[in-house]
Structure 1
Amino acid sequence: MSKFKVEVLSFEHIQELPGSWEKNDLANLLEAMDYQNPNEIKEAELKEMCLMSLTDFEPEEAAKIVLDYTIAGRLTEGQIQNLSHEILTEKLWEEYPELALHPDLYRSTQLLYEAFNGKFPRVEAVQFTIQISGDISIFNENPEAPIVRILAAGMSDRSLIHRLFSEQIESSHFEEAKDIIWQLKQVSQSETSVTYEIVSSSYWLDEIKYADSYEAETHADATDDEDSK
Structure 2
Amino acid sequence: MLLLARIIIKSYAQEPLRITNESMSQIEVKVLSFEQIQELPDAWSGTDYVNLLNSMDYDNPQEIKDGELKEMCMMSLTDFEPEEAAKIVLDYVIDGRLTEGQIENLSHEILTEKLWEEYPELSLHPDLFRATQLLYQAYNGKFPRGEAVHFQISITGDISALDENAAPAIVRILAEGMSDRSLIRRLFTDQLEGGKFEEAKDILWKLETVSRDENSVTYDIVSSAYWLEEIKYADSYQAAIIPDPEEEDAE
- State whether residues 27 and 240 of structure 2, in contact with CA within 8 Å, keep that contact through their aligned partners in structure 1: yes
SS in 1 for 2:80: coil
Which position in structure 1 is the counterpart of 2:118? 95
Q: How many angstroms does 1:124 deviate by? A: 0.9
- State whether residues 194 and 245 of structure 2, in contact with CA within 8 Å, keep that contact through their aligned partners in structure 1: no
Cα distance per residue 1:91-135 (max 9 Å; x no partner): 100000000000000000000000000100111100000001111
Match of 1:175 among 167, 180, 198: 198
Structure 2-normalised TM-score?
0.89
Structure 1-normalised TM-score?
0.97
Match of 2:146 among 100, 107, 123: 123
- 1:50-129 equivalence runs, <5 A: 50-129=73-152
Which position in structure 2 is the counterpart of 1:37? 60
Q: Find the aligned partners of 1:113 and 1:123 in 2 and give their Cα distance.
A: 8
Q: How many angstroms does 1:84 deviate by? A: 0.2
- 1:181-200 equivalence runs, <5 A: 181-200=204-223
- State whether residues 5 and 216 of structure 1, in contact with CA within 8 Å, keep that contact through their aligned partners in structure 2: yes
Which position in structure 2 is the counterpart of 1:7? 30
Which position in structure 1 is the counterpart of 2:178? 155
Q: Moved runs in structure 1, 4+ residues, more than 3 A? A: none
Q: Does residue 16 in structure 1 map to residue 36 in structure 2?
A: no
**One-letter amino acid of the structure 1 residue matched with residue 60 of structure 2:** N
Cα distance per residue 1:123-154 (max 9 Å; x no partner): 11000000011111111131000000000000
Q: Find the aligned partners of 1:219 and 1:228 in 2 and give their Cα distance.
A: 23
Q: Find the aligned partners of 2:112 and 2:44 in 1 and give their Cα distance.
A: 22
Q: Find the aligned partners of 1:127 and 1:54 in 2 and give their Cα distance.
A: 28
Aligned length: 228
- State whether residues 153 and 216 of structure 1, in contact with CA within 8 Å, keep that contact through their aligned partners in structure 2: yes
**One-letter amino acid of the structure 1 residue matched with residue 196 of structure 2:** H
- State whether residues 194 and 242 of structure 2, in contact with CA within 8 Å, keep that contact through their aligned partners in structure 1: no
CA RMSD of aligned residues (A): 1.2
**One-letter amino acid of the structure 1 residue matched with residue 144 of structure 2:** P
Q: How many angstroms does 1:228 deviate by? A: 5.9
Where structure 1 has 5 or more consecutive residues not aligned to the other structure, the ranges are none
Percentage of pairs with the same residue:
70
SS in 2 for 1:184: strand
Q: Find the aligned partners of 1:2 and 1:81 in 2 and give their Cα distance.
A: 50
